[in-house]
Amino acid sequence: MHAAIIENLIEKFEQLPGIGRKSAERIAFHILEHMSPDEAAAMSACITEAKSQISLCPVCQNLTDCAPCKICSSSKRDASVICVVESPEDVSAIEATNEYNGLYHVLHGSLSPMDGITPDDIKINELLLRLSDGTVKEVIMATNPTVNGTATAVYISKLLSPFEVKVTRIAHGIPIGSDLEYADKITLIKALEGRQTM
Amino acid sequence: MHAAIIENLIEKFEQLPGIGRKSAERIAFHILEHMSPDEAAAMSACITEAKSQISLCPVCQNLTDCAPCKICSSSKRDASVICVVESPEDVSAIEATNEYNGLYHVLHGSLSPMDGITPDDIKINELLLRLSDGTVKEVIMATNPTVNGTATAVYISKLLSPFEVKVTRIAHGIPIGSDLEYADKITLIKALEGRQTM
């Protein structure tokens, strides 16, 4: 049996996504055995600090330490395109490509009637508000290609039909560098349907 | 690009064992998006608290919040046997079996001349001190079956030869539930060498 405070520390890490009991133990013992008191204090301070300083951008709903966020307030970004994603991680992933220069809108989830997640639970109204002044010409639906993500994309695209915006969906198909024979059936069907002239 | 404070939080988690860049991002976003301020504060407090309250047991050198630790001070444990392990995690693993009732000694590492880890860098002297009063009758060497762990076991067993104690080594062989054909050669050799009459 661990001392109660060690057990408590292990449980705190076990709550985090992707961390099982074994990893949580390893992390807790790492902190206790190998971190200096200063390093542990810095880690602890960083959590509270980040939590208090980070909020949602009032425009795109991404996590930010200033309002509006750096992307929304940048004069270098193309304000006529909004890419709609489910989570802040998706923004990071697209930004890492260095190929997209428009704005974002983070829904913070996807519609899931089974889990009781309705349009009011995700940031759909906030997206509609951004379309009222006519600046936006295209909305790219980049929700995940899951049942819920696709349903969300379809639902939002219907809501957007009264607005003068082009609504597009990111392409689905065979990932680059992978092998055709290992692709699942639905991806293969999508890849055939989405074929383009060379 | 993330806000600096988010990046900082990601880096803090990236330093932990078994956490890569991607997992660290996922954890940081989980804290920022899904944890309540109270939960984040509790996590943060738990780290500093554990770090300040936990120290090494003066007897067995395991991590503890009281001195001597619960195992060392328990009247129900067999004080005539000491099981020598490399790390506090090993104590947890053996305790989880509920089959061992003796005491422990945590070395906090293993001898590794290549990395400059000499006998003075691990808790060997502290072990020798525990043998002076003649209570201990057996020392079980349960260091890892690696090159360093085995060398450490051999080194310590030689140091113990002047004392009136039996020195034993945990058995090596085919793990229960695994397949003989997938066992590596050395394990198989050890399993044959360590064969016992049925």
Of B16, B64, B65, the CB nearest to A27: B16
Percent of chain B with pLDDT over 90: 73
Give the span between the Cα atoms of B7 and B27, in whole angstroms: 12
Instruction: State yes or no: pLDDT of B8 exceeds 90.
Output: yes
Candidates B6, B37, B47; CA nearest to A41 is B47
Return d(Cα A189, Cα A15) in angstroms, integer: 38
CB spacing of A33 vs B70 below 8 angstroms: no
CB contact under 8 A, A50 and B8: yes
Sorting pLDDT into bands at 50, 70 and 90, what band is A58? very high
* DSSP-based three-state secondary structure for A185: helix
Predicted confidence at residue B111, as pLDDT, reads 95
With an 8 Å Cβ cutoff, are A44 and B41 in contact? Answer: no
Chain B residue closest in CA terms to A28 = B47
Contacts of B40 in chain A (CB under 8 A): 47-48, 51
pLDDT band at A1 (very low <50, low <70, confident <90, very high): low
**If DSSP codes are grouped into helix, strand and coil, which group holds residue A191?**
helix
The sheet that has A138-141: what strands, in order across it? A102-106, A78-85, A138-141, A166-169
- The model carries a pTM of 0.79
B43 neighbourhood in chain A, CB within 8 Å: 12, 47
Give the pLDDT of residue A183: 81
Q: How confident is the prediction for chain A on average, in pLDDT?
A: 92
Cross-chain residue pair A87–B29, CB shorter than 8 Å = yes
Pairing of strands A63-64, A55-56: antiparallel
C-alpha distances out from residue B166 to A192, B86, B107, B137, B138, Å:
72, 20, 19, 6, 5
Predicted confidence at residue B85, as pLDDT, reads 95
Percent of chain A predicted with pLDDT > 70: 99
> Which of B23, B66, B69 has its CB closest to that of A18?
B23
Using a CB-CB distance cutoff of 8 angstroms, which residues of chain A are in contact with residue B95?
1
pLDDT over 90 (residue B68)? yes
Please, which contacts does A130-137 make with residues 24 or more away whose CB atoms are closer than 8 Å?
A130/A59, A130/A82, A130/A105, A131/A160, A131/A163, A131/A165, A134/A164, A135/A79, A135/A80, A136/A79, A136/A80, A136/A81, A136/A82, A136/A165, A137/A80, A137/A81, A137/A164, A137/A165, A137/A166
Residue among B33, B35, B69 with most chain A CBs within 10 A, to mutate? B33
Residue-wise burial string across A108-134, b where 16 or more C-beta atoms lie within 10 A, e elsewhere:
bbbbbeeeeeeeeebbbebbeebbeee
* Strands across the sheet containing B166-169: B102-106, B78-85, B138-141, B166-169
> Token digits for B79?
């004080």
Structure tokens given for A27: 């992390």
Residue ranges in chain A assigned as alpha helix (H): 4-14, 21-34, 37-53, 70-73, 88-95, 124-130, 147-159, 185-193
pLDDT of residue B1: 61
In which band, very low, low, confident or very high, does the pLDDT at B187 lie, cut at 50, 70 and 90? confident
- Using a CB-CB cut-off of 8 Å, the residues of chain A touching B6 are 50, 54, 63, 65
State the pLDDT confidence band at A162, using cuts at 50, 70 and 90.
very high
Q: In which residue are the tokens 């060398």 written?
A: B151
Rounded mean pLDDT, B73-88: 95
* Beta carbons of A50 and B6 less than 8 Å apart: yes
Count Cβ–Cβ pairs < 8 Å, chain A vs chain B: 148
Task: Please count the helices (runs of H) and the strands (runs of E) in chain B.
Answer: 8, 6
Query: Which of B6, B47, B121 to mutate to test binding with chain A, by most A CBs within 10 Å of its CB?
Result: B47
Determine, for residues A54 and B3 on separate chains, whether the beta-carbon distance falls below 8 Å.
Answer: yes
Hey, are the CB atoms on B45 and A44 less than 8 Å from each other?
yes
The gap between the terminal CA atoms of chain B, to the nearest Å, is 65
